Structure formats: C-alpha cells, structure tokens
Amino acid sequence: MIQLDENYSISNDSNNHILHYKEDKVKEDGKKYTSSDEWYFSTLEQALERYMDCSLKRANTAEQILAEIYKVKQIIAKLN
C-alpha cells in the first residue's frame, strides 16, 4: 500500500489500482464518525489523477492549488 497523505492511499489487486480515502470527522453535535470511499482504476496514472482532483478541491487560492500540485508531483517522483 502506498500512503499518499493522511487521508489517501493506493493499493492494488490483480486487476485494479484502488484509491482509498478515510478521514475521521466530528459532526456539529460532537459525535465522531469516519468518512471513507474507494475508487477503482485500471492504471496507477488514473488513480493518481483522481487523487490530484481530490487534492485540488481542498484548495481555496491559487497558491494552495500550486502547493497541492507540487505535493502530488513530489509523491509521483518518489514512486519512480
């Protein structure tokens, strides 16, 4: 399993690359819960593209977008 950041990781099986999302959150009433999701891709590149899309949605400014792009490029460089 490749840990991309605190909430995202990638694993694979014999047919797919799987992007996993998991985050512990707190509701307005104070109750804790875990939000999670999985996406299946035929290539690692597709999984990383989805991760990039998810990362950029968290950015609110141009500087944050550039920082997220740089972070993802660093992760990809480590995989090579």
pLDDT tens per residue, range 37-66:
999 999 988 999 899 898 888 888 999 889
Asked if residues 2 and 79 have their Cβ atoms less than 8 Å apart, the reply is yes
Tell me the chain's radius of gyration from C-alpha atoms: 14
pLDDT of residue 80: 65
**In DSSP terms, which residues pair with 37 in a beta bridge?**
21
Asked if residues 72 and 55 have their Cβ atoms less than 8 Å apart, the reply is yes
Q: What is the pTM for the complete model shown?
A: 0.80
pLDDT tens per residue, range 10-35:
999 999 999 999 999 999 999 999 99
